[in-house]
Amino acid sequence: MFMSMAVLGLTTYALLVTHPSILSSVVQSRQSLNTMVSSETCSQEDKQLVWQSLPECQPRNTLVKIPLPKNPNILQVVPSQVEVARCAGSCHSDDGLYQRCVAMGLLNTSVPVLYEELVDGGVQEVCGVVEVETHTSCRCGCEEVECSSLQVYDRRMCQCRCRDNGARGQCLVQYNKMWDPEQCQCQCRPEEWKECSTGLSYDGIYSCQCLPGPPISAATPLMVCLGVLVVVLLITSVSLYLQFRRTKQRLLEINKSLHAERLFPTE
């Protein structure tokens, strides 16, 4: 973690030094953001006004994509989307929980479709029927979600959140970076991505530039830390071994000196 933060800081510093206009744009964006966000505390009346404007959790007509079957000869399905009722809306409870709108009643709706199938070098249309899940009733609650080791479950919002909020803040102040809430890591914005020539690989985590060598992954800092740890352990082991040999040699010399003194006493 410390290694990745150091690399991130050095990369940001280099970009600001070589491109001074970036700093001014970042400052302007931060100032505009501060003017948009009010620091006033919401009153209970303001909260009630917001809660009353939330769209109700209920079945709503939604476009759902029809997946292609596993048959590799099927080229296309018509229609590719179908409109069915799915639960949507916002939920807020009196105890301050912002839950999700989840389905309580389900049924399958049969939808007639046409498959374009590849047959003997040509294409023919084949009729079929697809079962599409339809929601008949909804409720406010939390679906079971399994969070990764980098996340913690937020019961108030019914979702997984990244543990390291500091890394997220450091990421958002960089003009060319975005925060990935699923991987809990900072990465380059899609518009910054570019194709690299032979021998170069795009670094989509730190510099957002083409660099020599293989692509840099999020596990690289961990590997560097492990390498440093191994080197430190080797140096420590060699140092202790040399100290042990010196101590052993010293004890042998003292033993010989005492033995000679017993054989040839000075007095």
What is the tens place of the pLDDT at every residue in 54-95?
Answer: 889 999 999 999 998 888 889 999 999 999 999 999 887 766
Q: What is the pLDDT of residues 150-203, one digit of tens each?
A: 999 888 777 888 998 889 889 988 989 999 998 999 999 988 888 888 888 888
Q: What is the pLDDT of residue 222?
A: 53
pLDDT at 6 over 60: no
State residue 26's pLDDT score: 45
What pLDDT band is residue 5 in, cutting at 50, 70 and 90? very low
> For the domain 55-141, what is the CATH code?
2.10.90.10
CA 187 to centroid of chain Cα atoms:
9
Q: What is the mean pLDDT of residues 15-22?
A: 50
Handedness of CA 85, 91, 93, 97 (dihedral sign): positive
- The residues near 81 (Cβ < 8 Å, ≥ 6 apart) are 63, 64, 65, 66
Return the pLDDT at 64. Answer: 94
By CB atoms closer than 10 A (0-12, 13-18, 19+), residue 199 is exposed
DSSP 79: S
pLDDT higher at 231 or 223? 231
**CB 90, CB 140: distance < 8 Å:** no
More confident residue, 5 or 109: 109
* Apex 202 CA angle, 201 and 206, nearest 5: 125
User: Range with the lowest mean pLDDT among 34-38, 90-94, 234-238?
Assistant: 34-38
pLDDT at 134 over 80: yes
| Calpha distance 62→52 (Å, rounded) | 23
Domain extent listing, the chain: 55-141
pLDDT digits (tens, 9 = 90+) for 136-154: 999 888 777 789 999 998 8
What does each C-alpha distance from 141 to 86, 89, 125, 165 come to in angstroms? 15, 12, 43, 26
Mean pLDDT, the chain, rounded, equals 78
| Residue 163 CB contacts under 8 Å (≥ 6 apart), including other chains | 150, 151, 152, 184
- For the stretch 242-266, pLDDT in tens is 887 888 788 777 777 766 566 555 5
